[in-house]
Amino acid sequence: MNIESIFLLNFRNYSEQYIELDPGINIFYGENAQGKTNVIEAVYLLTMGKSHRTNKYNEMVKWDKNDSRICIKFNKDDFDYNIDFVLKRNQKKQIKVNGVRLDKLSDILGKLNTVIFSPDHMKIIKEGPSERRRFIDSILSQTKPKYYYNFTQYLKVLAQRNVLLCNEKNDGIIEKTLDIWDHQLIEYGSRIIKDRQIFVESIDNKAWKINKELSGGREDFHLKYMPSIAYGKHEITDIKNAFEKRLTEARASDMRRKLTQYGPHRDELNLFINDKEVRNYGSQGQQRSVLLSLKLSEMEYIKDETGSTPVLLLDDVFSELDKLRQGFLISFIKNVQVIITCTDYENLYLGDKSTYKIFNVRSGK
């Protein structure tokens, strides 16, 4: 995967900017608040159809303008793509891929593949389970359109089920309608569980290898998927049966508490180093290595699934890594297109800088 160019029109603090990227390492450096992360955000927006830092599309349109446009040209598997994304204030987004209008925003998923990594991602390690579920969901949504469909349908059904549980109607009517929602919750939810299980098993081995090297052979890093429903075999029928049983057992208590207590929205992904939970026992350095291992295995996973190497977006993260990890990262990302943002690249351990394309970002230029 190789991004050839990015065109920004009235996007954040950019008025009109054409950027031609190098197929290798691209460094965007400059003082704070100049527009470095805005470039990363534009690329991410065309990967996922949404920003990595806001849910409000209007925020991305330049303050004094009404519409904004981002065009990215890239090459994937010897095929040229051109994504044209138009954002109008308070209006539906208009997206074209090679001139053909997309019906739904989510149709953009799977076209441009990227892996984003910023210091903010330490949340995956340090915070609650929702951050780790988000980590899994964003990767699976990018690589499996069906997963994204099942996931969004599941969330809709879950929201409706919870509204019903808060209803003051008599219990007989509620129970009958719950049967209908439960059936759908099980259909979508079981597929999500199965995909998450397979994903975690696949990434576990990759992350273990990377972390082993990063720790000089000392550490065994493992990911363990902990679904909120216990099931036997990984077959979809076993998962469905276990989910149904759990919902039936928990129904009275769900009705009392007025919420759905079991399902993929309550899953956990536990991270262990030498059998100890990283979140509670890992040092700062170990936590950073684990995050780097997760991000690099995410890259490998996307490559395995899609057949092409994703573009790596490193926002402010390179300077945060020590020399050992910077060196490891550089050796890992040979033949990968990378966008690195930093305030100063002079002190980065990047090897031969003459091969990199360097951009100085100043006031949205």
Measured from the CB atom, the residue of 35 and 49 that comes closer to ligand ATP is 35
62 binds, among ligand ATP, Mg ion, none (CB under 5 to 8 A by kind): ligand ATP
- Does 42 count as an annotated binding residue? no
Q: How far is the CB of 361 from ligand ATP (least distance, A)?
A: 6
17/37 with CB nearer Mg ion: 37
Nearest approach in angstroms of CB 251 to Mg ion is 48
Per DSSP, the chain holds a count of helices (H) and strands (E) of: 9, 14
Residue 264 interface partner, choices ligand ATP, Mg ion, none, CB cut-off 5-8 Å depending on type: none
Q: How far is the CB of 14 from ligand ATP (least distance, A)?
A: 8
State the virtual CA torsion across 313, 315, 320, 324 in degrees, nearest 10. Answer: 10
Partner interacting with residue 59 (select from ligand ATP, Mg ion, none; CB below 5-8 Å by kind): ligand ATP
Buried b (16+ CB within 10 A) or exposed e, 25-47: bbbbbbeeebbbbbbbbbbbbbb
Residue whose CB is less far from ligand ATP, 271 or 361: 361
Tell me which amino acid residue 196 is.
R
Which SS3 state, helix, strand or coil, does residue 114 take?
A: strand
First to last CA, the chain: 25
Strands annotated E in the chain: 2-11, 14-20, 25-29, 67-76, 79-88, 94-97, 100-101, 114-117, 221-226, 268-273, 276-277, 311-315, 338-342, 357-360
Of 28 and 188, which has the nearer Cβ to ligand ATP?
28
Angle between helices 129-143 and 145-165 (to 10 degrees): 140
Helix (H) or strand (E) holding 156: helix 145-165
- Spatial contact of 112 and 306, defined as CB atoms under 8 Å apart: no
- The one among 6, 8, 9, 12 contacting ligand ATP by CB under 6 A: 12
Between CA 190 and CA 150 the distance in angstroms is 9
Q: Choose one: 35-43, 96-104, 132-140, 147-155; the region binding ligand ATP (CB under 6 A).
A: 35-43
Query: From CA 90, how far away is CA 204, in angstroms rounded?
Result: 42
Q: Does 37 bind Mg ion (CB under 5 A)?
A: yes
Judged by CB under 6 A, which of 1, 17, 36, 219 binds ligand ATP? 36
The Cα–Cα gap between 213 and 1 comes to: 26
State which residue, 34 or 260, has the beta carbon closest to ligand ATP. Answer: 34
Handedness of CA 234, 195, 127, 158 (dihedral sign): negative
Residue 230 interacting with ligand ATP (CB under 6 A): no
**In this chain, which stretch among 36-44, 120-128, 236-244, 348-356 interacts with ligand ATP, using CB under 6 A?**
36-44
Q: Which of 233, 223, 178, 183 is nearest to 200 (CA)?
A: 223
Q: Which residues of 227-236 are buried (b: 16+ CB within 10 A; e: fewer)?
A: bbbebeeeee
Q: Which is nearer to ligand ATP, 34 or 141 (CB)?
A: 34
Instruction: Single out the residue of 205, 283, 343, 355 in contact with ligand ATP (rule: CB under 6 A).
Output: 343
Please answer whether residues 144 and 113 qualify as being in contact, where contact means their C-beta atoms are separated by less than 8 angstroms.
no
Query: Residue 224 Cβ, how far from ligand ATP at the closest point, in Å?
Result: 34
34 annotated binding-site participant: yes
219 annotated to a ligand binding site: no
By CB under 6 A, what part of segment 51-110 binds ligand ATP? 59, 61-63
Instruction: State the minimum distance, in angstroms, from the CB of residue 19 to ligand ATP.
Output: 13
| Residue 33 assigned as binding residue | yes
Q: Which is nearer to Mg ion, 31 or 171 (CB)?
A: 31
State the residues that interact with Mg ion by CB under 5 A.
Answer: 36-37
State the residues that interact with ligand ATP by CB under 6 A.
Answer: 12-13, 30, 32-38, 59, 61-63, 316, 343, 361
Q: Annotated binding site for ATP, which residues?
A: 30-37
